[in-house]
Amino acid sequence: MVGRVALGLFASLPLSLPCACSRDPSDAHEAVEAKAVAKQAPSPAAAALPELPTVDVAFLRRHIVALSDDAMQGRRPGTEGGAKAVAYIIEQLESLGVEPAGEGGGFTQAVPMRAVTLDSSRSSISLRPGPRAELQPLRLGEDVVASSLGPATTTQLEAPLVFVGYGVTAPEHDWDDFDGVDLRGKIAVVLVGDPPLPDDRFDGPAMTYYGRWSYKYERALEAGAVGCLVVHETAPASYDWNVVRSSWSGERYDLRSPAGEPPARLAIQGWIHAELAERLAALDGRELAGWHELALRPDFVPLSLSAELVVELVTTERSVTDVNVLGRIPGRTRPDEHVVLTAHWDHLGVDPRAVGGADAIFNGAVDNASGIAGMLGVAAILQSHVRDGRGPDRSVLLLATTAEEQGLLGSRAFVERGGDRVPLSSIVAASNLDSMNVHGRTTTIAVTGKGKSTLEDVLAEVAAAQGRTLVGDPTPEAGAYYRSDHFSFAKAGIPAIDFGGGPTMEEGGVAAGEALAHELAERYHTVADEYDPTWPLTGALQDVETMAELVLRVADAEQRPRWRLFLVIPLGGVAWRRRRARRQVSRDGAATWRVTGQAGESRDW
């Protein structure tokens, strides 16, 4: 069992390492030592453990092959293929002796959703370029992609368009694109991404949550708009129009409240192609480039366009209840506290547009059969620790989520409700496995959203013991930190980390890593994301061992992980919404933060 052997190596070394992460001098060292000695006596739980498999490349390959097989039909939520994937994961967790942590003593947690399909044959979106001007029909899928997640199945409206810049309200950056505009009954047109400012606001080149389309819709809804359309431009979006078009064709899922109510939503939300944005700008004698200039001006005010949209959207919907899969490895000394490891099991299913025998299955071998295989690997390694009397002090929750591809719906449902046996307040940290490195070993580990929490300190120690170093996200402009399940926990204020081996390969260095990343990007969300027997998977194994050690150390640490930065997540979890930071620049230029909470409550940072 490679993991074991490596950890064995660690076992001889960690006595010095663990104290590093807890940053306390010698007393922590003694405590850890005492605990390590105390841990040698296998617990009754250990005796009950089944025979554990060796976690090696063959282990990972077996699970990736199974989960990305055509038989899983691309693992779309609410489908037979999805149900097969869930059954497979439960079977594997049971075979590792992992406890069920779902509802009613089982492994699953229901995630009620609605699957909404736009009936494009009965829907139309037309542009009225000016008062009483002739309507210009727009091409669905070419000029615009849109749908309505509102409760009505027929949405009819005529609404003026307002250009609202980047559609961002960020008090901590003294930025409010919505200042001085009444958007009630109107459709906001916004640019994708963050304002690319020359100073360090909005994390410089890295995308913040403000740059994400989901934030734009949330903010426009909060501002009273009936709709919001994001202008698609490949560079700031970091994916091309095809990705937008394919993810907006077919059913779109949305959460239903446990009571079955659909949450408040815009009557129309979607994207417009850059060429249509050019047409809209030209109606007022401008260009899209001019909109960009305007949007960056400190005195920007939203621009009422002369055009309006005439919209008729017909949707059909069905209720879909799918499930998250929850397994638990009970802690030894602090079982009521939890470290969560997430990985989504779902993918895109079958391509309805494939014809003539063309490959139609989105197998999702990398995204995310590899992550589930990794989660099973981490579970097996941790269980081997339990068997050897060195199991985690805090409990570990393994959360295989549904509907991540539909907007992190599974992890959002978990965070909004918590688990029966795992209340949200008991969770000290979250980490995530999404699209693992299926290629060779690396000498670096890329951390998305680097610099956010003390979890990285622990990861840096684990990496150092492997001879690896941490680097930032190679493509920070893509905003990866906001695009997978760990973010649902971050939004609720729980320190969350997401990382993966690379981009520097042991063999071939950065150049090899970039070439592999490029190849991966070509397969992203296409039917070409299929299992490849030539994948060495040694890089994935390296990361599985890293994740197991990280989870173990966080579970054993005296201290809970903490956010390093005062993380402002707009419109985020309930906790965050009540807090607003306002930047005040005193006469000598020094910046201070004023945090305003409920009326009358305020503190300086």
Q: Which residues bind Zn ion (CB under 5 A)?
A: 367-368, 434
Which residue's CB is nearer to Zn ion, number 166 or number 489?
489
Rounded to a whole number of angstroms, the distance between the first and last alpha carbons of the chain is 49
Q: Bridge-partner residues for 430, per DSSP?
A: 340, 496
Structure tokens at 262: 């659909």
Q: Looking at beta carbons only, is 461 or 498 nearer to Zn ion?
A: 498
Shortest distance, position 136 Cβ to Zn ion, whole Å: 38
Distance of closest approach, residue 364 Cβ to Zn ion, in angstroms: 8
Among 461, 480, 478, 477, CA closest to 469: 461
Separation of alpha carbons 356 and 520, rounded Å: 26
What is the DSSP code (8-state) at residue 560? P
Q: Report in angstroms how near the CB of residue 406 gets to Zn ion at its nearest.
A: 11
Nearer CB in complex with Zn ion: 367/477: 367
Kindly state the tokens that stand for 321.
Answer: 């209840």
Reported in sequence order, the residue ranges of 259-393 that DSSP labels E, i.e. its strands, are: 268-273, 303-329, 334-344, 349-350, 361-362
- For the CB of residue 371, give the shortest distance to Zn ion in the complex, in Å: 7
CB atoms within 10 A of CB 358: 9
Of residues 367 and 393, the one with the C-beta less far from Zn ion: 367
Pairing of strands 444-447, 496-501: antiparallel
Q: Which is nearer to Zn ion, 254 or 346 (CB)?
A: 346
Least separation in angstroms between CB 372 and Zn ion: 10
DSSP assignment string, 173-240? GTEETTTT---TT-EEEEESS----SSSGGGTTS--GGGSHHHHHHHHHHTT-SEEEEEE-HHHHTS-
* DSSP structure class, residue 370: I
By C-beta, is 177 or 434 nearer to Zn ion?
434
* DSSP notation for 40-90: TS--HHHHT--PPPP-SHHHHHHHHHHHTSGGGGGG-TTSHHHHHHHHHHH
Q: What share of the chain is helix, strand, coil (3-state, %, to 5)?
A: 35, 25, 40
Nearest to 570 by CA among 164, 166, 165, 170: 170
* Minimum distance, C-beta of residue 405 to Zn ion, in the bound complex (Å): 7
Neighbours of 65 (CB within 10 A): 14
Nearer to Zn ion, 178 or 362 (CB): 362
Nearer to Zn ion, 186 or 491 (CB): 491
Nearest to 326 by CA among 12, 108, 125: 108
CB of 525 to Zn ion, least distance (A): 9
Specify the residue, 436 or 548, whose C-beta has the smaller distance to Zn ion: 436
Comparison of 92 and 368: residue with beta carbon closer to Zn ion: 368
In angstroms, give the least distance from the CB of 11 to Zn ion.
33
Residue 218 or 434: which CB sits closer to Zn ion? 434
Give every CB contact of residue 600 below 8 A, 6+ residues apart in sequence. Answer: none
Q: How far apart are CB 431 and Zn ion at their closest, in Å?
A: 15
Q: Are 189 and 181 in contact (CB under 8 A)?
A: no
* Minimum CB distance to Zn ion, residue 500 (Å): 11
Nearer to Zn ion, 443 or 488 (CB): 488
Q: How many residues are given for the chain? A: 605
Tell the smallest beta-carbon distance from residue 347 to Zn ion (Å). 8
Token pair recorded at residue 28: 């922590």
What is the spatial distance between Cα 180 and Cα 91, in angstroms, rounded to a whole number? 57
